[in-house]
Structure 1
Amino acid sequence: MTNLPDKARVIIIGGGIVGCSVAYHLAKLGWKDVVLLERKQLTSGTTWHAAGLIAQLRATANMTRLAKYSQELYGDLEAETGVATGFKRVGSITVALTEERREELYRSAAMARAFGVDIEEISPNEIGVRYPHLNLQDVVAGVYLDKDGQGDPGNIALALAKGARQRGAVVAEHTRVTGVRREGRRITGVDYDGASGPGHIACDQVVNCAGMWGHDVGKMLGTNVPLQACEHFYIVSEPVAGLTQLPVLRVPDECAYYKEDAGKLMLGAFEPVSKPWGPIPESFEFDQLPEDFDHFEPILEMAVNRLPMLGTVGIHTFFNGPESFTPDDAYHLGQAPEMDNVWAAAGFNSIGIQSAGGAGMALAQWMQDGEKPFDLGDVDISRMQPFQGNKQYLMERSTETLGLLYADHFPYRQKATGRGVRRSPFHAQLAGQGAVFGELAGWERANWFAQAGQQAEYQYGWKRQNFFDNVAAEVNAVRTNVGMYDMSSFGKLRVEGRDAEAFLNHVCGADMSVPAGRIVYTQFLNARGGIEADVTVTRLSETAYLVVTPAATRLADETWLRRHLGDRAVVITDVTAGEGVLAVMGPNARRLMQAVSPSDLGNDAQPFGTAREIELGMGLARAHRVSYVGELGWELYVSADMAAHAFETLFAAGQSMGLKLCGLHMMDSARIEKAFRHFGHDITCEDHVLEAGLGFAVKTAKPAFIGRDAVLAKRDEGLNRRLMQFRLRDPEPLLYHNEPILRDGAIVGYLSSGAYGHHLGGAIGLGYVPCRGETAAEVLASSYDIDVAGVRVAAEASLKPLYDPKSERVRI
């Protein structure tokens, strides 16, 4: 029986591999009084029945970094703890059965090389040599990673738990958390029911590692952890005579993966329509769910054709076990927005074994330092919107997310389930004009507009998709005439009070001591000079400001503000839903505006970078003269009650001058031509504001602000890298992001974002290039290529925007 302390520095709830990893890494950092509480036995929820596949390559550089760390950690863990982990680097093969999948794999291979992962494109014949039992019918290509592996999930978790204990952590099994005690935004202690009865532990921090119980534990802790348990199937064959060690094999076009283990074959599935499961019985421990052979049978039929030996041996085990999935197939990591001492590491979407080592390391370092060790935006739990904890939403969305793991990862692919939750005031009008909607943070957003007679839906592919010409026409309208698009989904945070100016000067790099009506482009910086948020701030009055944020980061940006507020006399209010926003952009934008408003919109009355109230039709609007597309224009903020009238007025007036409704794909194309940064891609918490080329937005002459010392230090020491813009010289290939950048023939980085520049006539990318000790001229003197799916394409490189480098067009 484990003796539990009365006080702990941190309590970890949940003893799966993730909870054990967090305990291990905190103890490794020297934390004392680490307590892990497990309701039943360690690994008894999901970990024990996981397949144990350990792959390095993930969708982003940072997720790959974490996965690489996991496989390196597991390789050494057995020697450290004496617990056999079963970890073997057997390699992995992923095969393509279609040309579309080949393109995806080859783009992934190029990305892997940029991330420093060894990978090899292999032909069908080479696949047959490495996996001789495979039916090569329809196989067109594959990729091979020699350092990928497999291991025993339960023993890896037990090894981590032992490593934590060896460093002083307390790991208590059969100890269920029954409640918490709370003061304001902090948990002060945890109530439990253990082998010796109930008890209480006071604590400084709590980490929710409760796996498929994470949603309910999150509610107990006052936090939102959106995840849903789903049934997950695999079979294990009877022993196969003469079967030797094989690489892990993935055939995503048939929703299947294969693993050889002790002379048997495991076949697992990520079926297109999954089965949500719950509620979870209180007694659940090392349990499995009822078999559903009818559900699994289509996968098995394809598998027997692909691996004929499966048809000659019996099935030893048919297993159905639950695993937790999140609304976007990315796990939840980090400090919960709702509380100041609650952390999460849950919802690992069936990749918990390969992610746990890296996730535990990153979270422990984050807790130690009080800030992210590197960019974790993909998995930061603050990306989740409050409504996404809705159980009906989770149930519907989870029918799709499991299958998306092996679906074609086409660019711009939209989720089909859980849609229509958040709509702008202009949604019905846009839908009536042929809008094709995408979804971000629950918002339905018009991404492009179908022409008359054209099917108003996405048709996905890796080449030019069906909306390519539509977006070209929309960009042309904004560049040569006038376009209008909906920006209502962007976050709007009202910051007001007598200390509002001083507070925003503390958290923003730019100077907020400006007159009412001035709009300031700025960043929230961390202590390293990295970018935590990219926003505009409009001074509304002496005591009130409006902070406008990207839709996806509204909650994260609000949380950053609240955590740095201290005792200042400031109130922060999310007013996003209160106003609709229409952007009117293009060289004829003023002409359209003057047709609907008697207000003076000339340069003298309203210069660029200012906001003022105007009359619009028979209503009112606040007109912000700013632009994310690099053209003359206004963002019009209209109260929700007058939004429909504003749209009808502008749309009617625009008919005689060729006004074109535009979508957000247009905005992305236009902004990348202008080299405007995309937060989360081009600028993140680990990208220094000066290296991102945004030094103009930082005013070090003002009093101390977060990141000021790091900005001054970087100015003294010089840049290590520069964010550059690239245009492919061949107009045909497309760029998305993560394509390798080659300088004089050698890989030096990768594109942080990419889109087609319809006005410039070629694909455009942004990406960082090392430049330590070099002048701008020396950086530009090199030749540059971009690797597109294994093909090097020559690129023009620039440190200034390729479109309107002097920003003259926004001021006309």
Structure 2
Amino acid sequence: MVSEFPQSASAVIIGGGVTGSSVAYHLARLGWSDVILLERKQFSCGTTWHAAGLIGTMRANENHAKLAQYSMSILGEIEEETGQSTGFKQVGSLSVAHSEARLEELKRVASMNNAFGVTRVDIITPEEARELYPLLETGDLLGASWVGQDGYSSPVDVTAAFIKGARNRGANCVEGVTVTGIVVENGKVAGVTTDRGDIRADFVVNCAGMWAREVGRMAGVNVPLHACEHYYAVTEKLDIPLDLPILRDHDWCTYYKPDAGSMLVGQFEPNAIPWGQNGIPEDFCFDEIDGHFEEQVMEILEQSLLRVPVLQEAGWRKFFCGPESFTPDDQFHIGEAPEVRNFFVAAGLNSIGIQSAGGVGRALSEWMHNGHAPLDLWGNDIRRMYSFQGTQTYIENRVSETLGLLYDNHWPYRQMETSRNVRHSPIHERLVSHNACFGEAAGWERPNWFAPEGVEPRYEYSFGKQNWFEYSAAEHMAFRTGVALFDQSSFSKYLVQGRDSCSALQRICSADIDVPAGKVVYTHWLNDRGGIEADLTVTRLDENRFLIVSAAAVTNRDLNWLARNIPSDTFCTVTDVTGGEAILGIMGPDSRALLDDVLGIGLEASEFPFGTSRTVEVGCAVGRASRVSFVGELGWEIYLPADMARHGFDVIWEAGQRHGLRLAGLHALDSGRIEKKFLHFGHDISEEDTPLECGYSFVCHLDKSVPFIGRDAILKQKEDGSWKRKRLVQFLLEDPEAILYHHEPIIRNGEQVGHLTSGNYGHFLGGSVGLGYVYSEEDIDADYIRSGSFEIDIAGARIPAKASLTAMYDPKALRMRG
């Protein structure tokens, strides 16, 4: 504790747990000498101190794997730098499978992580697992995965090392200071108020752990997370090997960690109990909480005795219950808040804080230092969250599910079951009556597929062809050979208007949007490095009014990008009109005939060409028809006021019965766009990828009158040719039974050259189709593709695949333009 309380700082970090201490250290390492870390009680209190300290490096995507790898490697570095032990013991980790589904998941995860080139994962037999873990009961096991570089550490010691390292580099780390408020001036953070005085600051970082939601509200920032009861038990002393690995038995919800001669058995129970619904006690520090041990622990603990039989001989010296915070999607929160400039968040690490804090602290510090994220972290970006997700009702119910999902099977297409039916399309009830099976995205209930009459619209999960496969295939073929209707109402929609709206958008959009009224322009928004920040269409409604349409999940991100890049003195307003309009996508070769019956206007290409939009009448509703397509077929998107959408749907549906109209879900939409090599932001394109690399150079109008953000970077990349050594390629598996999802390794001539970004079944092409970036030291062109023999690795099996730089389906886009 310092004698004179500081009054100013370049950055104030709130929360002295492992995450806050990591941010302080990494900022100081970047040369930020004027950094203050504030802790309300004592360092490591709250949740850090009682963490199990597991260090695992296996992750679900490449950038997460990089963060995890760094989190492990920094432990040795910080220990050497400060002399403070971190307690890290590199004993390896073992994950066992006693179901075919779990073994398939382990194989897929191993294949993915080996593709990332960060962590080596081996799939081993039960006998080999027993050799690594002599205490293991293997009679019911089918296999296991082994990560030799994993281990465990001491959470309190890791935190102490970061704090010592931060102090050595000039940071001021202070205990016993409660932040009482956040000062915001003109939309930008200006400091904090505390029980010991005020501090002016250029940046404030919310690392308050399970208090992060409360701290965020001080600044008007939404940080959805909530604490749950979290359990482990510790045995009396046992005669066990000192180098025993970490053991995870996901099927039985347990993990096992050696603990100073004892065994710690932790769990991720399927139905968690939220804690602190009425607030966290003010004096909460190194506290335990009263748990529900009989209901939550005993059955799982009894199973643990079967997996590690030596535990049957042990007494139990400690049954522990403490709080741990979880987020709505089991992804941590990181980044600059969209509501307040220079207010950053690093919280909600979902019980993997010790094994993630090093990487998170480094990434956030570099984000603050450079003005942008060092990696594509969109899946963790705080901008992905919506205000409704921070409500008590939503978050309390959702975290009761997300805790257990960490150890559940990570099924493809798995849908959350809690906190549902929050946002509905205007035609939701119509879709219910047609037996839709709904998924959830950004709170929207969206029809993913439609069950036939007499079939319950319910998922049956697997890693193969799921129960809805044939139904979605029929929907797919409907828009390829006939006509289908998609409900696209969840798509984000923004109205940009004002006398400066055109000039403002010209600077932000890579394409030329200074076009005649009624023209639809597909474009990207780029950052100054040429990376893609958004993927969308802009429709010019009149001279000073534009409609932007984007994906459902990116509303906050897009609005934030507009707010940050439209100058404050510009006469231009942006309004989110997402909930005000429905979008009905009428797609397929018979769409023209159907809409000719409904609209009564000329729809031939000469009268209504591709990329145009005009006002139409749908029965008694006045709406807008835009000739665009996300599945690569002739089609129109029909925009209708929300209050008249049901009427419009009924009119189209009635007319559609004469044309074989079929309802189609979002799974079919995705399979259609992948066949056509259309891209999905957050999967195939991100702020790390440029239009040149993904094959979309046509969206960059380099010679338009207003230079767009990122233009110089695109010109530089075009000139130096670096984009030719990273290119997005489409793949079609030769085995029609194999199923692609994402992140499967790409093999060329026996060597790995990348991994998939997305995958789905191409029902028209007759096999699974994947998109993925290929990397090479030589130019990736048609000769490179022709001269290579390509395979895709699925769970360790290499499946031959055809490869193409252009879309295998209708490469010249003649069908949707005809």
- Alignment TM class, shorter chain as reference: over 0.9
* Percent of matched pairs sharing the same residue: 52
Task: Find the counterpart in structure 2 of residue 225 from structure 1.
Answer: 223
Task: Find the counterpart in structure 2 of residue 623 from structure 1.
Answer: 625
TM-score w.r.t. the length of structure 2 is 0.98
In the alignment, the residues of structure 1 paired with residue 542 and residue 382 of structure 2 have an alpha-carbon distance, to the nearest angstrom, of 34
For 1:622-655, what per-residue CA distance to the aligned partner results, in whole angstroms no more than 9, with x for missing partners?
0010000000001111001110001101111111
Where 2:691 maps in the other structure, the secondary structure is coil
In the alignment, the residues of structure 2 paired with residue 126 and residue 221 of structure 1 have an alpha-carbon distance, to the nearest angstrom, of 53
> What letter corresponds to residue 605 of structure 1 in structure 2?
E
Alignment of 1:602-613 (within 5 A): 602-613=604-615
* Structure 2 contact 726–780 (Cα < 8 Å) conserved: no
**For 1:786, which of 792, 803, 810 is the aligned residue?**
792
For the pair 1:395 / 2:400, whether they are aligned, the reply is no
For the pair 1:804 / 2:810, whether they are aligned, the reply is yes
Task: Find the counterpart in structure 2 of residue 258 from structure 1.
Answer: 256
**For 1:795, which of 798, 801, 805 is the aligned residue?**
801
Q: Aligned pair in 2 of structure 1 residues 99, 775: CA closer, same or farther (>3 Å)?
A: closer
Where 2:355 maps in the other structure, the secondary structure is helix
In the alignment, the residues of structure 1 paired with residue 96 and residue 14 of structure 2 have an alpha-carbon distance, to the nearest angstrom, of 39
> What letter corresponds to residue 708 of structure 1 in structure 2?
R
> What letter corresponds to residue 748 of structure 1 in structure 2?
V
Task: Find the counterpart in structure 1 of residue 268 from structure 2.
Answer: 270
In the alignment, the residues of structure 2 paired with residue 138 and residue 788 of structure 1 have an alpha-carbon distance, to the nearest angstrom, of 25
Where 1:137 maps in the other structure, the secondary structure is coil
**For 1:760, which of 755, 759, 765 is the aligned residue?**
765
Task: Find the counterpart in structure 2 of residue 91 from structure 1.
Answer: 92
In the alignment, the residues of structure 2 paired with residue 777 and residue 491 of structure 1 have an alpha-carbon distance, to the nearest angstrom, of 36
* Structure 1 contact 243–264 (Cα < 8 Å) conserved: no
For 1:202-257, what per-residue CA distance to the aligned partner results, in whole angstroms no more than 9, with x for missing partners?
11111000000000100001100000000100011111024432111100000000
* Structure 2 contact 753–776 (Cα < 8 Å) conserved: no
**For 1:211, which of 175, 190, 209 is the aligned residue?**
209
* Structure 2 contact 473–763 (Cα < 8 Å) conserved: yes
* Structure 2 contact 60–113 (Cα < 8 Å) conserved: no
In the alignment, the residues of structure 2 paired with residue 327 and residue 687 of structure 1 have an alpha-carbon distance, to the nearest angstrom, of 27
Task: Find the counterpart in structure 1 of residue 137 from structure 2.
Answer: 135
> What letter corresponds to residue 128 of structure 1 in structure 2?
R
Task: Find the counterpart in structure 2 of residue 707 from structure 1.
Answer: 710
The size of the alignment, in residue pairs, is 808
Where 1:645 maps in the other structure, the secondary structure is helix
Task: Find the counterpart in structure 2 of residue 571 from structure 1.
Answer: 573
In the alignment, the residues of structure 1 paired with residue 481 and residue 743 of structure 2 have an alpha-carbon distance, to the nearest angstrom, of 31
In the alignment, the residues of structure 1 paired with residue 522 and residue 244 of structure 2 have an alpha-carbon distance, to the nearest angstrom, of 55
**For 1:594, which of 590, 593, 596 is the aligned residue?**
596
C-alpha displacement of 1:540: 0.9
In the alignment, the residues of structure 2 paired with residue 518 and residue 298 of structure 1 have an alpha-carbon distance, to the nearest angstrom, of 63
Q: What CA RMSD, in Å, does the superposition of the two structures yield over aligned residues?
A: 0.9
In the alignment, the residues of structure 1 paired with residue 318 and residue 299 of structure 2 have an alpha-carbon distance, to the nearest angstrom, of 17
Alignment of 1:333-732 (within 5 A): 333-567=334-568, 568-702=570-704, 703-718=706-721, 719=723, 720-732=725-737
In the alignment, the residues of structure 2 paired with residue 599 and residue 206 of structure 1 have an alpha-carbon distance, to the nearest angstrom, of 57
> What letter corresponds to residue 674 of structure 1 in structure 2?
K
For 1:448-506, what per-residue CA distance to the aligned partner results, in whole angstroms no more than 9, with x for missing partners?
00011112100000111000000100001000000001000010011111111111111
For 1:339-389, what per-residue CA distance to the aligned partner results, in whole angstroms no more than 9, with x for missing partners?
111000011100111110000100100101111111001100000011111
For 1:281-305, what per-residue CA distance to the aligned partner results, in whole angstroms no more than 9, with x for missing partners?
0000000111422120111011011
In the alignment, the residues of structure 1 paired with residue 199 and residue 242 of structure 2 have an alpha-carbon distance, to the nearest angstrom, of 51
C-alpha displacement of 1:693: 0.6
> What letter corresponds to residue 711 of structure 1 in structure 2?
I
In the alignment, the residues of structure 1 paired with residue 84 and residue 269 of structure 2 have an alpha-carbon distance, to the nearest angstrom, of 34
For 1:307-332, what per-residue CA distance to the aligned partner results, in whole angstroms no more than 9, with x for missing partners?
11111111111110101000000000
Alignment of 1:108-123 (within 5 A): 108-116=109-117, 117-123=119-125
> What letter corresponds to residue 435 of structure 1 in structure 2?
A
In the alignment, the residues of structure 2 paired with residue 672 and residue 242 of structure 1 have an alpha-carbon distance, to the nearest angstrom, of 52
Where 2:258 maps in the other structure, the secondary structure is strand
* Structure 1 contact 103–789 (Cα < 8 Å) conserved: yes
> What letter corresponds to residue 373 of structure 2 in structure 1?
K
* Structure 1 contact 245–261 (Cα < 8 Å) conserved: no
User: 4+ residue stretches of structure 1 with deviation over 4 A?
Assistant: none
Where 1:690 maps in the other structure, the secondary structure is helix
Gaps of 5+ in 1: none
* Structure 2 contact 90–152 (Cα < 8 Å) conserved: yes
> What letter corresponds to residue 803 of structure 1 in structure 2?
Y
Where 2:377 maps in the other structure, the secondary structure is coil
> What letter corresponds to residue 304 of structure 2 in structure 1?
A
* Mean CA deviation greater in 591-600 or 549-558: 591-600
* Structure 2 contact 727–780 (Cα < 8 Å) conserved: no
* Structure 2 contact 524–536 (Cα < 8 Å) conserved: yes
* Mean CA deviation greater in 798-807 or 71-80: 71-80
C-alpha displacement of 1:775: 5.1
In the alignment, the residues of structure 1 paired with residue 150 and residue 801 of structure 2 have an alpha-carbon distance, to the nearest angstrom, of 33
> What letter corresponds to residue 290 of structure 2 in structure 1?
P
* Structure 2 contact 693–726 (Cα < 8 Å) conserved: yes
For 1:164-185, what per-residue CA distance to the aligned partner results, in whole angstroms no more than 9, with x for missing partners?
1111100010000011222121
* Structure 1 contact 599–615 (Cα < 8 Å) conserved: no
* Structure 2 contact 229–291 (Cα < 8 Å) conserved: no
In the alignment, the residues of structure 2 paired with residue 377 and residue 671 of structure 1 have an alpha-carbon distance, to the nearest angstrom, of 21
For the pair 1:74 / 2:75, whether they are aligned, the reply is yes
For 1:768-792, what per-residue CA distance to the aligned partner results, in whole angstroms no more than 9, with x for missing partners?
1114442513321211100011000
* Structure 1 contact 493–575 (Cα < 8 Å) conserved: yes
For the pair 1:10 / 2:11, whether they are aligned, the reply is yes
C-alpha displacement of 1:670: 0.4
C-alpha displacement of 1:656: 2.1
Where 2:702 maps in the other structure, the secondary structure is coil
**For 1:770, which of 761, 767, 775 is the aligned residue?**
775
TM-score w.r.t. the length of structure 1 is 0.99
Task: Find the counterpart in structure 2 of residue 39 from structure 1.
Answer: 40
In the alignment, the residues of structure 2 paired with residue 699 and residue 4 of structure 1 have an alpha-carbon distance, to the nearest angstrom, of 54
In the alignment, the residues of structure 2 paired with residue 775 and residue 747 of structure 1 have an alpha-carbon distance, to the nearest angstrom, of 14
C-alpha displacement of 1:600: 2.1
> What letter corresponds to residue 285 of structure 1 in structure 2?
C
In the alignment, the residues of structure 2 paired with residue 771 and residue 561 of structure 1 have an alpha-carbon distance, to the nearest angstrom, of 35
In the alignment, the residues of structure 1 paired with residue 713 and residue 5 of structure 2 have an alpha-carbon distance, to the nearest angstrom, of 43
C-alpha displacement of 1:603: 1.5
Where 2:75 maps in the other structure, the secondary structure is helix
Where 1:266 maps in the other structure, the secondary structure is strand
Where 1:806 maps in the other structure, the secondary structure is coil
C-alpha displacement of 1:69: 0.6
In the alignment, the residues of structure 2 paired with residue 488 and residue 623 of structure 1 have an alpha-carbon distance, to the nearest angstrom, of 14
In the alignment, the residues of structure 1 paired with residue 778 and residue 465 of structure 2 have an alpha-carbon distance, to the nearest angstrom, of 40
In the alignment, the residues of structure 2 paired with residue 648 and residue 501 of structure 1 have an alpha-carbon distance, to the nearest angstrom, of 36
Gaps of 5+ in 2: none
Q: Aligned pair in 2 of structure 1 residues 791, 290: CA closer, same or farther (>3 Å)?
A: same
For the pair 1:236 / 2:234, whether they are aligned, the reply is yes
* Structure 1 contact 437–445 (Cα < 8 Å) conserved: yes
